Amino acid sequence: MTEHAGEPVKTPFLYVVVCAAGIASGVGQLVTAAQARGWEVGVIATPVALGGFFDTAEVERLTGRPIRSAWRSPGDPRPFPPPDAVAVAPATFNTINKWAAGTADTLALATLCEAYGLGVPVAVLPCVADTLAAHPAYRESLVRLRAMGVRFGEAASGEAEEGGGRPDFAWERALDLLEAFPRPRGPRPAESGMRHGPPS
C-alpha cells in the first residue's frame, strides 16, 4: 500500500474471467499487461476453459494464486480479495447470453452477475463467430449488458486463420476500457456469500 496526497492507496485487484475459446491460450498476455499497469490479478475460468484451453500452471505462476473455477466450501479461506474491476476475455457466445439472462450456474457466471450489484467496472472482449453473433439473442444480450454499464471491446471471431494460426487478440483493450473508470481507494467492496456456493 502506498500514500497518495496523504491517503493510503491500495493496489487494485482485477478478476480476469476466462471462457472456453481457442484464443484463451494467450490470456497470460492480459495478466502480465495488467500487472505492468499496477493491478493484482486473479483468474476465474469457466469449467470448460479450465479443461485445456490455456496453460493453467503458467497463469498460476504469473499471478501467484490458484485459478478459481468452483465455489469454495464454507470455512475455506478466500483465495482472492473482492474485485475492484472485472475483465472477461475471451468472452464466448454462451457466457454472454447466460450472463445477460442472470444465469449463475458456474462460479464465473455468478461472479459476473454479482459484479453489477457490487458496482465494480466490467470490460468484455468478445470472441464470437460471425454466424453466432448474428443471432438475435446475442444482440439483445449486448444491449442489456451495455445498459448495465458493461463496456465492450471490438468483437473477434476467434476462428483460425489460413495455416492454422490465431488472429491477433487485443488483450490490453480490456485494460484500456477499465482505466476509463476512476481507480478505487479505501476498503474494497464487501464480499457476498455467493463466493461460498452456488445460488439456491
Q: Identity (one letter) of the amino acid at 101?
A: A
> Is 45 contained in some domain?
yes
CA-angle at 21, arms to 58 and 119, nearest 5°: 85
Residue 192 has what pLDDT?
Answer: 44
> Is 61 contained in some domain?
yes
Identify the domain containing residue 100 by its residue range: 2-73+85-160+169-179
pLDDT of 188 > 90? The answer is no
> Is 187 contained in some domain?
no
> Is 199 contained in some domain?
no
- Lowest-pLDDT choice from 10-24, 43-57, 176-190: 176-190
Please tell me the pTM assigned to this model: 0.86
Residue 72 has what pLDDT?
Answer: 87
The CATH number assigned to the domain holding 18 equals 3.40.50.1950
Q: What does the pLDDT look like over 108-161, one tens digit per residue?
A: 999 999 999 999 999 999 999 999 999 999 999 999 999 999 999 988 876 656
Percentage, residues of the chain above pLDDT 90: 72
Are the C-beta atoms of residues 95 and 146 closer than 8 Å to each other? no
> Is 62 contained in some domain?
yes
Are the C-beta atoms of residues 121 and 85 closer than 8 Å to each other? yes
> Is 48 contained in some domain?
yes
How many structural domains does the chain have?
Answer: 1
> Is 95 contained in some domain?
yes
> Is 188 contained in some domain?
no
